[in-house]
Amino acid sequence: MTHRTGTLRHTSLELTEIQDPEHSDFLKIRKMLIATHMQDLKEVTHDILYEQFSVLRMHFPPSPLTFGNKPKLPVPIPNALKLQSTSLDSGRATPDVALRQKEEDEIRKMQEMLAKMQEQH
């Protein structure tokens, strides 16, 4: 008796290997879903990554001193800017309100830093 590793489904009569084309259409269905939705997955992934990049550049622009230096990859995303899921029914603020509050806090911090820098000069 040979033992093969794979995904098995227990039916009332037997164990069926899901990835065996003789017993299951799983591979065909998976291939069809990936083929039909791959472009959408690529677009959504690109949109999310671009939004994160633009938020990082708006809140933390590169300084003129490090303009010629290449950043070390991967660039860590600050905890304040990571996408967070909030539950609407748990009494917490909606994502729009939370995002607006974070932006206002960041703007306030930047204005304070700017005021300190102007006082030094």
pLDDT tens for 40-86 read 889 999 999 999 888 888 888 776 665 555 555 555 565 555 554 44
What does the block give as tokens for 76?
């860590």
Residue 30 pLDDT > 70, yes or no?
yes
Contacts 24+ apart (CB under 8 A), 71-74: none
CA distances from 26 to 10, 20, 23, 71 (A): 15, 8, 9, 43
Instruction: Check residue 46 and give its pLDDT.
Output: 92
Q: What is the pTM of this model?
A: 0.33
Residue count of the chain, please give it.
Answer: 121
